[in-house]
Amino acid sequence: MAGRSAGSAAATVSPLTAGVDRTDLAVPSAADESALAVLDPLRPLLPDGLRRGSTVAVRGSTSLALAVAAGPAMAGGWIAAIGWHDVGRSQVGLLAAHELGVSWRRLVLATSPFDRRQWATAMSVLVDAFAVVVVRPTLPISGTDARRLEARARQSGAVMVVSSPVDARTGTIVGVNNDKRLRSAWPTPPDVELRVLASTWEGLGHGDGHLQVRRALVEVSGRGRSSRPRRAELWLPTARGEVELVEASPVDPPAEPSEPEIASPLTMEPAAS
């Protein structure tokens, strides 16, 4: 018999498999591959998936960060969330996360410690164990901490998703955190950066209707293979709260040099109304 102690009661001895240690014959799983899966609608943006050990910055939309984490979650990966449920500021809507595909069954939430050293320790524990760590920074992160965590993530194969919301007023409440210090959510350049360039909501009238869908233009840029920016239009979310590709996309980036660089996620204004 294997060395497992009397464990889960749901699994009992099966006469056919008794005596075979499951660790001897591990099924090749997504965990062994070099990239984590992404949801189908995000494939035009991230054709290679999420490279293990990479850092993904998502700017301008919490839903987009959730949609990025939903791919590995659907594939059976465990997701850690830090800073989602802190007192004194907005919290990530868990129902929205569920609608986008982040299963609650494999989701663990940690509150963000206010001490910088503790935050770094907590992060390193999460990065060691989970497939994806979705971070909402509460403190300014030092460059040293960030580099150390990146190295740790490369070692363990975890993906860090750093999310920053659309504007300052939702991120923090006056008196708890100083907005300016949070301007750059992640101090070092991330491997991949996704941002919402423009979005329009549909469904609201003047006293009638209700919010139904949002059409969002998302751009991805980054280092290495993903250095060429890609764009796609997404329903983020659809009327069921999921994410879908808008047909007749992607929109190629213009031939001109590029859009004016957006200095900060906190001061970003979506281009279209």
Partner 1 sequence: MSRRQPHEQAVRRLVLAVPDWPTVAAGFLPHEPAAVLVANRVIAATPAARAAGVETGLRRREAQARCPDVVVVEADPARDAREFEPVVATLADLCPRLEVFGPGRCGFPTRGPSRYFGGDAALADRARQTVQAVVGERAAVRVGVADGLFAATLASESSIVDADASSPDRIIVEPGASATWLASLPVTTLAQPDEPDTDKMVPTDLVDLVTRLGLRTLGAVAALPIGDLAARFGPPGVVAHRLASGFDMQPPNPTPPPADLAVEVTFEPPVERVDTAAFAARSLAEELHQRLSDRGEACTHLLVVAETEHSERMERCWYHGTAMSAGTMAERVRWQLDGWLHGSSTARPTAGITLLRLAPEEVVAAVGTQLRLWDTTDTAPEKVVRAVARLGGLLGPEAVTVPEWRGGRQPDEHVATVPAGAVDLDGNRTATEPPMISRDPDLPPWPGRLPAPSPALVFAPCDQPPVTLSDDSGALVQVDGRARCSSSPAELCVNGNDRQRVVAWAGPWPVVERWWDPTIGRRQIRLQVLTDDGVASLLVLEQGQWSLAAVYD
Crossing angle of helices 116-129 and 143-156, in 10° steps, is 10
Residues 36, 52: contact at Cβ < 8 Å? yes
Of the pair 88, 143, the CB lying nearest partner 1 is at 88
By C-alpha distance, which of 166, 220, 165 is closest to 190? 220
Beta strands 132-135 and 79-82, pairing class: parallel
Q: State the minimum distance, in angstroms, from the CB of residue 34 to partner 1.
A: 19
The nearer residue to partner 1, 108 or 246, going by C-beta atoms, is 108
How many Å apart are CA 256 and CA 216, to the nearest integer?
22
State the amino acid at position 173 in one-letter form.
I
- For partner 1, give the closer residue by CB, 211 or 223: 211
Say how many C-beta atoms besides its own lie within 10 A of residue 165's C-beta. 22
- In the bound state with partner 1, the residue whose beta carbon lies nearer, of 111 and 188, is 111
Q: Which is nearer to partner 1, 16 or 255 (CB)?
A: 16
CA dist 199 and 187 (Å) reads 26
Return the bridge partners of 57, or none.
162, 193
The Cα 74–Cα 67 span in angstroms is 11
Nearest distance from residue 81's CB to partner 1, in Å? 10
Query: What amino acid is encoded at 20 in this protein?
Result: V
Least distance from partner 1 to the Cβ atom of residue 47, Å? 25
For the CB of residue 258, give the shortest distance to partner 1 in the complex, in Å. 21
- State in angstroms the smallest separation of the CB of 137 from partner 1: 15
